[in-house]
Amino acid sequence: MQAQAFNHWGRRLFAVFTLALALLAQPALAKEQFRIAWVLYPGFMPLDYAQRSGILDKWAQQYGIDIEVVQVNDYIEAVNQYSAGEFDICLMATMDALTIPAASGVDSTVLNIVDYSNGNDAIILKHGQTLADIRGQRVNIVQFSISHYFLARALESVGLSERELTLVNTSDADMVSLYGQPSVSAMVTWNPMVSDILRRDDAHLVFDSRQMPGELTDAIVAHTATLEQNPALGKALIGAWFETLAVMRRDDEQGRQARETMGIAAGTDRAGYEQQLAATHLFYSAQEAVDFISDPQLAKTMARIAEFSFDKGLLGNAAPSAGAVGMAFTDGSVYGDPGNVKLRFDDRFLRMAVDGELRSTP
């Protein structure tokens, strides 16, 4: 476990070093072209549709910028590439925003919490019908990610600990194919992989994120300096995001077509994607997103995540406490070291959307 944590931290240091070289090689000027990384996940599919439908291009052109959307096959690789400066924005879990870019010294801003998992994340067993049956098993999981936190919180609920398991670090891209191997007996993963795995007769769902609502949050995360120098990026992205959600929520042909397009892109169909959406608490309106990101409960959840991360060595081997990496919230409060704030929750673009200050041409 310690060796794996060290290797994980080493990859982050390399990402920061790469970013530093890139920054030194470029003048600090406002940009006009931006790159966004994302991976398959129900709450992230609206970004793909925004690109395919032309909604994102419309908003980008209105603000005089260009936005390239890139799907990355492996989730942790996407976050690492963002941390290394290869992307300006990345869609990721808020925990991973803390433990990878922020903990590596990459100042990042959450400009929108898009959803929380409400059944998308799951613990699946081949042998056993309850979570307690996981004791003594090998568990395939994306170690040190939000799934790891999810597993730890689930184990607490039945009086178990990680010491009673053997964790096997596994790429999210390999989960579905690996489940069919005889050596695999337990798995922690998320949709759309969960839906594929649960089609098997030997897959038993024993715990999912419906039992911890509001904790596993996903966000649009940007390099703070990029966002400050280029507020048009935040405006265009938030405008396009909520226009897309308004379309996909409609109960008409256009809405059904949007959900079908997202389902096909996610490797399923409209019915399959709608099933995944039922396990995703998407914030369909900017007001809902503002209410969540400004709720004091978010700071409490992130403090719990910071404590877990510190315990796992994810804040750096030299981190003296869970507050080593400061987090700033929308009310001006700071958790942790105020002199080392590297993760910021910012609702200004969301509030612009609420107030009708964002503009888009037809």
Is 4 or 94 the better-scoring residue by pLDDT?
94
Q: How many CB atoms lie within 10 A of CB 23?
A: 13
**CB-based contact 209:117 (threshold 8 Å):** yes
pLDDT digits (tens, 9 = 90+) for 125-156: 999 999 999 999 999 999 999 999 999 999 99
The band of 316, judged by pLDDT with boundaries at 50, 70 and 90, is confident
State both tokens at 202. Answer: 């030997």
The predicted structure's pLDDT at residue 179: 98
Residue with structure tokens 């995703």? 280
Domains located in the chain, CATH noted: 33-116+217-355 (3.40.190.10), 121-211 (3.40.190.10)
At residue 6, the pLDDT reads 41
| Residue 106 confidence (pLDDT) above 50 | yes
Of the candidates 67, 65, 100, the residue with the CA atom closest to the CA atom of residue 84: 100
Q: How sure is the predictor about 317, in pLDDT bands with cuts at 50, 70 and 90?
A: confident
In this predicted model, which residue has the larger pLDDT, 6 or 314?
A: 314
pLDDT in tens, 188-242: 999 999 999 999 999 999 999 999 999 999 999 999 999 999 999 999 999 999 9
pLDDT digits over 91-105, tens only? 999 999 999 999 999
Q: What share of the chain is helix, strand, coil (3-state, %, to 5)?
A: 50, 20, 30
pLDDT of 14 reads 52
Is it the case that residue 252 has pLDDT exceeding 70? yes
Given the DSSP bridges, would you call strands 204-208 and 66-71 parallel, antiparallel or unpaired?
Answer: unpaired
